[in-house]
């Protein structure tokens, strides 16, 4: 063509195909990308298989895998066939194309465009919907396994008289099938309608009939199938009423039928079922009648009935029949809910006893000797003293203790004693020089147990260790001390190869070792190395010379993760705890079976119910729940994880639980019988905390057994907030060896308190026998306080501590300088009709970064003491060595200062000087000077108290001359909760 621009012409640029070399390069890169993706997918699958095989739970992997694959292919193919068949049928039923309307002329372009690709388009659509449906169905593997392996509960619901297993195992599967059917019907209807429209079977703007007879019949059948499924849904909804949740009275998650459900919704669902069946038949009849008139009328009738019968009628019944006489109408259904909820949560055996809350013994000195038999009062708070363990027993920076230690019991001189225990675990943050070799080859494990008596402290406020030093030695005897699996071990290690590991260090230098266990996966195979290099995104695993013959990779090393992996049907308790059993350190993990389908049992949310002031600051203590909303729970499995080999064992604990029996049928051979639990292991098993927290939350409402009281709401309790800190979270339960009024001897127990809803006084005290292997294990005892009088609750007791003038002054002195006061667990012990409260007080002072026990607060029967030791505080409270002062009577005036006040001030000044001297001694680590300063401090406080007592006697008042503490000196302010 001639140049039309008037300028010189330039060279033509021809755009051709890429050169052969470029095409080859692009093709090679594409193939490599596909192979890389395929190998990455293979690496994930292969490493999972190797791990399950290494822990001897390969059957869990294969059963889960084949179940997912089976569900994927079965339901994926069903969905693909349903949609594909209806597209094909709609295409086959297309009318012959004759005189084209404008609408058909516009559609003709699309028909011509897809004509060459019709088969591929059909395959693509069916493959897509099949993949989505199959992926969704594979996620229902738990539902399938529970349905196909379900074991009867042996209990029937009170409404339909069906076994509970129908609601727990069958109904969820039927609902899944129904949902799948709805999805298939809707997708098929949409696909068929679009195909009919594309090929002229349906017309929107063309003159004449809007649909051909074939299209009418086809679509009517699909709508009829949808309506038939709706009829099935109405029928299943009848049974769903037994597990339906609603807000009712004080219960947010009330479950089960109420009066309006049984007398309005239930008959309404039955009527709607019948109407839906008739409506579906009318749609099917269009195959012969070829008209939409009757089906449309029937469908409209069904919609209208759903509004009137399913919505309006129940509202009328609720408004005009139930509300005017709610208590009488709802009482029978409340009783069913009470019974089912108590059974489902294992609280039906809870024993509620009246308790006076006040001692009947006038001579309190007689009770002093009874305290020791009433409880082994633990003054070492495991949630406070972890930094003390860390400072005194860490030994090396690459060791660490968990933030919250554990309470167990060990026998000494033939007598069990409560023990605070922790493991010296690996702390990678403390490694001197971080690199890949150090992080994963040299520093691989922790070392040794550290334990201390729970009921005592030494003269300096430090724990009295029963197992300590490195290597650890003490009362626990000889055991394998290396800790390859622990709560803080969250990275992989490669052991057993040519690279030596650091075992521990002593005065003679570093000791090295090489792992001798058979845990982990072998890396001798190059395929395994390549797979782990891809799975962990660490190419050095593939070629590093530190890996050789005998090398094994350890991962998934926290106890809770290992148990959850080998038993993915279990809910895991938030607190795994260690114990020395038969020469091995074993992590003990409590696990639960749950369901959300127990009829009439009210639901609870595990994440909320098990939260307290400890889980708020330590995420590792949160429950690992397979389903958060449950209405049935059992501590059915006790699991152990060997700290050296990582071996996981699951023991059947609840031999009657049908949910566990169902899972044992699904995964045979994974759970060992209860008889295999050794006596030495049984001695360390205990009642789990998360189950106890779920039960105590339910018992705030379900401690009552009659519907009238439940409906009135007058007996609703609440779990109090933790009074020892300002977190605003619930007080955690405490392990304590103690004796309830109906017990003859102390038992290792888990305890908590209740207060009335919206108030701070005590309403009840609850304990459960936590010592496994005893006849009373799991027995819940509740001491109910009278409602006619008030007994101080935890918050009020803490406030009482804070308001005592002498105590506040002592706290102010303890908090002098840069010291911090931390309050330990506020323990409650029933004693002679009254309640004894004990709270240890710790101080972080001067250069010390860890808390030491400095004082013990004790109160009983209105008497309060704040002394250096528990024994001294008890002596003072029970009158063995005098009594505490009392606040002035209301209405009295404070007398003017007397000559005794000067002595009081002098003594307090000496106390301040002694405290400051002690802080200076701490900074210099001069323990002898620190001990002398503490003695001077105690003497000065004693002189101040004696001088004040003399001043009170001379003035005729009580506490008249004591200075009032300022708000800033209150123990409640500026505390640092451990």
79-104: average pLDDT = 82
Model confidence pLDDT, tens digit, residues 651-661: 999 999 999 99
| pLDDT > 90: percent of the chain | 54
What pLDDT is recorded for position 310? Answer: 82
Residue with tokens 């559609």: 107
What pLDDT is recorded for position 100? Answer: 61
Does pLDDT of 58 surpass 50? Answer: yes
Does pLDDT of 585 surpass 50? Answer: yes
SS (H, E, C) 70-125: HHHHHHHHHHHHHHHHHHHHHHHCCCCCCCCCHHHHHHHHHHHHHHHHHHHHHHHH
C-alpha torsion 68→71→72→75, nearest 10: -170
Which 3 state secondary structure label does DSSP give 850?
coil
Count of other CB atoms within 10 angstroms of residue 134: 21
Q: Check residue 472 and report its DSSP letter.
A: T
Q: Check residue 803 and report its DSSP letter.
A: H
Q: Worst-scoring range by mean pLDDT, 451-460, 628-637, 734-743, 956-965?
A: 956-965
Does pLDDT of 627 surpass 90? Answer: no
- pTM (two decimals): 0.84
902-917: average pLDDT = 72
pLDDT-derived band of residue 103, with 50, 70 and 90 as boundaries? low
Which residues are CB-contacts of 631 (< 8 A; sequence separation ≥ 6)?
243, 253, 255, 341, 344, 595, 596, 597, 598, 601, 602, 603, 604
Q: Worst-scoring range by mean pLDDT, 484-493, 848-857, 925-934?
A: 925-934
210-238: average pLDDT = 91
Residue predicted with more confidence, 896 or 308: 308
What pLDDT is recorded for position 270? Answer: 94
Cα angle, residue 212 at apex, residues 209 and 215 outer, rounded to 5°: 135
What pLDDT is recorded for position 810? Answer: 83
What pLDDT is recorded for position 969? Answer: 33
Structure token pair of residue 394? 């860490």
Residue predicted with more confidence, 963 or 705: 705
Does pLDDT of 973 surpass 60? Answer: no
159-171: average pLDDT = 96
Name the average pLDDT for the chain. Answer: 85
Does pLDDT of 883 surpass 60? Answer: no
What pLDDT is recorded for position 295? Answer: 77
Does pLDDT of 421 surpass 50? Answer: yes
pLDDT-derived band of residue 805, with 50, 70 and 90 as boundaries? confident
What pLDDT is recorded for position 102? Answer: 63
Does pLDDT of 898 surpass 80? Answer: no
What pLDDT is recorded for position 56? Answer: 95
Structural contact between residues 623 and 572, judged by C-beta atoms closer than 8 angstroms = yes
Which 3 state secondary structure label does DSSP give 939?
helix
Does pLDDT of 822 surpass 70? Answer: yes
Beta strands in 159-290 (DSSP E): 245-248, 251-255
Model confidence pLDDT, tens digit, residues 230-279: 999 999 999 999 999 887 765 668 899 999 999 999 999 999 999 999 99
> What does the alpha-carbon distance between residue 256 and residue 812 come to, in Å, rounded to a whole number?
55
Structural contact between residues 964 and 955, judged by C-beta atoms closer than 8 angstroms = no
What pLDDT is recorded for position 448? Answer: 94
pLDDT-derived band of residue 809, with 50, 70 and 90 as boundaries? confident
878-897: average pLDDT = 45
pLDDT-derived band of residue 306, with 50, 70 and 90 as boundaries? confident
402-413: average pLDDT = 89
For the chain, how many residues are written?
A: 978
Model confidence pLDDT, tens digit, residues 708-746: 888 888 889 999 998 887 777 899 999 999 999 999 899
Model confidence pLDDT, tens digit, residues 377-394: 999 999 999 999 999 998
Structure token pair of residue 216? 């009418």
Does pLDDT of 8 surpass 80? Answer: no
pLDDT-derived band of residue 325, with 50, 70 and 90 as boundaries? confident
Q: What is the DSSP string of 624-666?
A: B-S-SEESEEEEEEEEEEETTT--EEEEE--TT-HHHHHHHHH
Does pLDDT of 890 surpass 60? Answer: no
What pLDDT is recorded for position 10? Answer: 45
What pLDDT is recorded for position 209? Answer: 60
Model confidence pLDDT, tens digit, residues 506-556: 777 788 999 998 899 999 889 999 999 999 999 999 999 899 889 999 999
Residue with tokens 């094994």: 552
What pLDDT is recorded for position 28? Answer: 80
What pLDDT is recorded for position 955? Answer: 47
Structure token pair of residue 772? 């496994």
What pLDDT is recorded for position 11? Answer: 46
């Amino acid at each position: 063509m001639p140049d039309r621009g008037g300028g010189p012409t330039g060279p033509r640029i021809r755009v051709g195909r890429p050169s052969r070399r470029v095409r080859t390069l692009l093709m090679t890169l594409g193939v490599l990308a596909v192979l890389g993706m395929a190998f990455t997918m293979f690496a994930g699958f292969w490493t999972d298989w190797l791990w399950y095989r290494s822990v001897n739970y390969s059957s869990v992997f294969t059963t889960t895998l084949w179940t997912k694959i089976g569900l994927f292919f079965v339901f994926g193919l069903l969905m693909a066939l349903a949609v594909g068949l209806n597209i094909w049928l709609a295409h086959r039923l297309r009318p012959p194309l004759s005189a084209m309307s404008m609408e058909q002329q516009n559609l003709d372009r699309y028909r011509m465009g897809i004509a060459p690709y019709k088969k591929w388009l059909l395959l693509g659509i069916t493959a897509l919907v099949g993949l989505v449906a199959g992926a969704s169905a594979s996620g229902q593997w738990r539902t399938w396994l529970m349905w196909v392996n379900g074991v009867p509960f042996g209990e029937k619901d009170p409404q339909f008289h069906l076994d509970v297993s129908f609601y727990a195992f069958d109904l969820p599967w039927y609902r899944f099938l129904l949902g799948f059917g709805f999805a298939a019907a809707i997708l098929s209807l949409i696909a068929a309608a679009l195909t009919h429209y594309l090929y002229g079977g349906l017309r929107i703007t063309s003159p004449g009939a809007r649909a051909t007879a074939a299209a009418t019949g086809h679509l009517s059948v699909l709508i009829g199938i949808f309506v038939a499924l709706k009829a099935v849904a109405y029928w299943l909804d009848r049974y769903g009423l037994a597990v339906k949740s609603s807000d009712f009275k004080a219960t947010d998650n009330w479950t089960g039928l109420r009066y309006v459900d049984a007398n309005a919704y239930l008959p309404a669902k039955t009527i709607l079922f019948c109407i839906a069946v008739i409506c579906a038949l009318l749609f099917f009849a269009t195959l012969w009648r070829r008209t939409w008139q009757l089906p449309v009328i029937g469908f409209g009738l069904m919609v209208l009935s759903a509004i009137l019968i399913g919505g309006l009628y129940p509202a009328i019944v609720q408004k005009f029949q139930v509300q005017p006489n709610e208590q009488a109408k709802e009482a029978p259904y409340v009783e069913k809910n009470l019974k089912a909820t108590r059974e489902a949560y294992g609280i039906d055996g809870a024993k509620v006893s009246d308790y006076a809350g006040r001692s009947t013994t006038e001579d309190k000195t007689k009770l002093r000797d009874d305290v020791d038999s009433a409880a082994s009062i633990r003054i070492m708070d495991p949630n406070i003293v972890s930094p003390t363990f860390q400072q005194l027993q860490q030994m090396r920076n690459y060791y660490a203790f968990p933030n919250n230690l554990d309470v167990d019991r060990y026998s000494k001189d033939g007598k069990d004693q409560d023990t605070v225990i922790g493991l010296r675990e690996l702390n990678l943050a403390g490694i001197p020089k971080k690199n890949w070799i150090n992080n994963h080859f040299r520093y691989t494990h922790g070392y040794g147990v550290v334990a201390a008596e729970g009921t005592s402290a030494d003269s300096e406020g430090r724990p009295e260790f029963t197992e300590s030093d490195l290597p650890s030695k003490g009362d626990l005897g000889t055991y394998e001390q290396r800790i390859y699996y622990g709560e803080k071990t969250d990275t992989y290690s490669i052991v057993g190869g040519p690279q030596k590991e650091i075992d521990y260090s002593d005065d003679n230098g570093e000791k090295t070792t090489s792992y001798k266990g058979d845990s982990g996966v072998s890396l001798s195979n190059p395929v395994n190395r390549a797979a782990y290099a891809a799975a962990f995104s660490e190419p050095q695993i593939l070629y590093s010379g530190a890996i050789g013959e005998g090398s094994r990779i350890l991962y998934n090393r926290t106890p809770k993760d290992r148990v959850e992996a080998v038993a993915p049907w279990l809910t895991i308790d938030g607190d795994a705890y260690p114990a020395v059993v038969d020469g091995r350190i074993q992590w003990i993990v409590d696990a639960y079976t749950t369901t959300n389908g127990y009829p009439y049992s009210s639901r609870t949310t595990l994440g909320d119910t098990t939260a307290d002031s400890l889980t708020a600051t330590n995420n590792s203590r949160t429950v690992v729940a397979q389903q958060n909303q449950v209405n049935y729970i059992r501590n059915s499995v006790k699991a152990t994880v060997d700290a050296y080999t990582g071996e996981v064992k699951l023991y059947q604990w609840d031999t009657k639980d049908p949910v566990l029996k169902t899972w044992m049928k699904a995964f045979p051979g994974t759970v060992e019988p209860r008889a295999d639990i050794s006596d030495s292991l049984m001695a360390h098993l205990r009642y789990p905390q998360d189950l106890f927290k779920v039960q105590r939350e339910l018992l705030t409402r379900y401690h009552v057994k009659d519907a009238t009281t439940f409906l009135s709401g007058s007996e609703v309790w609440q779990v109090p907030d933790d009074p020892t800190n300002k977190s605003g979270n619930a007080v955690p339960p405490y392990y304590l060896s103690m004796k309830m009024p109906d017990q003859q001897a102390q038992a290792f127990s888990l305890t908590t308190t209740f207060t009335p809803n919206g108030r701070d006084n005590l309403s009840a005290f609850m304990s459960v026998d936590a010592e496994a292997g005893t006849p009373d294990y799991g027995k819940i005892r509740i001491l109910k306080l009278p409602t006619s009088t008030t007994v101080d609750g935890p918050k009020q007791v803490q406030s009482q501590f804070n308001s005592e003038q002498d105590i506040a002054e002592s706290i102010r002195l303890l908090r002098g300088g840069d010291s911090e006061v931390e309050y330990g667990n506020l323990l409650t012990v029933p004693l002679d009709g009254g309640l004894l409260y004990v709270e240890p007080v710790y101080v972080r002072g001067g250069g010390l970064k860890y808390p030491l026990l400095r004082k013990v607060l004790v109160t009983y029967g209105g008497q309060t003491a704040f002394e250096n030791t528990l024994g001294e505080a008890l002596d003072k409270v029970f009158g063995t060595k005098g009594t505490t002062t009392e606040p002035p009577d209301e209405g009295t005036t404070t007398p003017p200062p007397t000559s005794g006040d000067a002595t009081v001030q002098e003594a307090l000044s000496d106390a301040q000087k002694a405290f400051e001297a002690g802080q200076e001694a701490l900074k210099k680590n001069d323990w002898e000077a620190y001990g002398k300063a503490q003695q001077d401090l105690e003497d000065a406080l004693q002189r101040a108290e004696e001088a004040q007592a003399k001043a009170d006697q001379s003035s005729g008042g009580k506490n008249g001359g004591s200075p009032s503490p300022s708000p800033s000196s209150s123990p409640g302010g500026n505390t640092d909760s451990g």
